């Protein structure tokens, strides 16, 4: 069953038992913490969630998130569209110690009473997929003199090349 309006708080047991699939579009109005971390008021995040049990009967949410937000490039200070994309396997567990025991392939959603706020869960996924430093793709950025150390190293290597050639000549 598909529903463009994503339900907010759900009972995971019920959704898993029915192996439900839900999808919908969330905006920054639904995601206040993300709103605080991005520039601009408009963002659309398409969400697709599938509920199932894994081979040892854990309730699992397969999450696929895709969208984009506006960020301010920290190099040229212009706004740009940052794509967000995330595919995750989330296991719903009752407490932190169960969360720590999960295999690495799972992310934990801790819920004592089996209820999960899907908006909050999606928001966590979005926040995790934001870049640590907001920056244009190098070819789109207006600033031509990058100050990143990686690029400086490249410049130094280029500079060293003529010396290396000289050494070979001597």
CA 21 – CA 48 distance, rounded (Å): 7
CB proximity list for 91: less than 8 A, separation 6 or greater:
54, 58, 59, 60, 61, 102, 106, 107, 108, 109
CA 53 – CA 100 distance, rounded (Å): 19
Choose one: 17-25, 43-51, 86-94, 131-139; the region binding Zn ion (CB under 5 A).
131-139
To Zn ion, the closest distance from the beta carbon of 147 in angstroms equals: 12
CB proximity list for 120: less than 8 A, separation 6 or greater:
none
Does residue 136 touch Zn ion according to CB under 5 A?
yes
**Which of 65, 75, 84, 129 forms a contact with Zn ion (CB under 5 A)?**
75
To Zn ion, the closest distance from the beta carbon of 78 in angstroms equals: 5
To Zn ion, the closest distance from the beta carbon of 136 in angstroms equals: 3
**Which of 89, 102, 130, 141 forms a contact with Zn ion (CB under 5 A)?**
141
CA 136 – CA 163 distance, rounded (Å): 34
Does residue 76 touch Zn ion according to CB under 5 A?
yes
To Zn ion, the closest distance from the beta carbon of 139 in angstroms equals: 10
- List of residues contacting Zn ion (CB under 5 A): 73, 75-76, 136, 141
């Amino acid at each position: 069953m598909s529903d463009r309006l994503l339900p907010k708080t759900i009972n995971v047991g019920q959704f898993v038992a029915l192996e439900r699939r839900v999808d919908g579009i969330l905006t920054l109005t639904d995601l206040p913490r993300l709103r605080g971390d991005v520039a601009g008021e408009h963002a659309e995040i398409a969400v697709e969630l599938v509920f199932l049990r894994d081979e040892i009967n854990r309730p699992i949410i397969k999450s696929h998130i895709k969208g984009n937000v506006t960020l301010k490039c920290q190099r040229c200070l212009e706004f740009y569209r940052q794509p967000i994309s995330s595919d995750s396997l989330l296991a719903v567990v009752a407490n932190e110690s169960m969360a720590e025991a999960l295999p690495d392939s799972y992310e934990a959603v801790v819920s004592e009473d089996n209820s999960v706020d899907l908006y909050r869960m999606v928001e966590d996924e979005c926040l995790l997929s934001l870049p640590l430093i907001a920056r244009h793709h190098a070819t789109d950025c207006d600033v031509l003199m990058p100050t990143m150390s990686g690029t400086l190293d490249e410049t130094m290597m280029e500079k060293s090349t003529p010396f290396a050639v000289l050494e070979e000549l001597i």
